[in-house]
């Protein structure tokens, strides 16, 4: 159980982490200023996809299904596939 100052410190840490993530996501989604930034954004997006996507199936009709490492609330999943 978290009591006293520990709980306050944990809440403060969570708020700081959330603010940091928000700033990073804004950078990831903005228009790149130059080719170097474009490459950095591409690399960051690729790392995110590699971290959360277990497997991608591409079928002959060019349809795609992705198998994720976690469930997405509110999204129907059949056999772990989208």
Q: Return the higher-pLDDT residue of 69 and 14.
A: 14
- Indicate if the pLDDT at residue 74 is higher than 90: no
Q: Which helix (H) or strand (E) holds 56?
A: strand 53-58
In whole angstroms, give the CA distance from residue 68 to residue 65. 10
DSSP letter (8 states) at residue 32: P
| pLDDT over threshold 70, residue 81 | no
SS3 72: coil
What is the pLDDT, as a whole number, of residue 1? 54
CA atoms of 82 and 65, how far apart (whole Å): 5
Q: What is the pLDDT of residues 45-60, one digit of tens each?
A: 898 888 888 899 999 9
If DSSP codes are grouped into helix, strand and coil, which group holds residue 22? helix
Q: According to the model, what pLDDT value does residue 42 have?
A: 94
pTM (2 decimals)? 0.55
């Amino acid at each position: 159980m978290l009591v006293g100052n520990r709980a306050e410190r944990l809440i403060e840490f969570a708020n700081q982490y959330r603010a940091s993530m928000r700033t990073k996501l804004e950078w990831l989604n903005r228009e790149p200023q130059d080719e170097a930034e474009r490459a950095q954004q591409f690399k960051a997006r690729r790392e995110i996809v590699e971290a959360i996507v277990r497997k991608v199936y591409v079928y002959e009709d060019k349809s795609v299904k992705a198998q994720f490492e976690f469930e997405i609330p509110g999204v129907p999943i059949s056999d772990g596939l989208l």
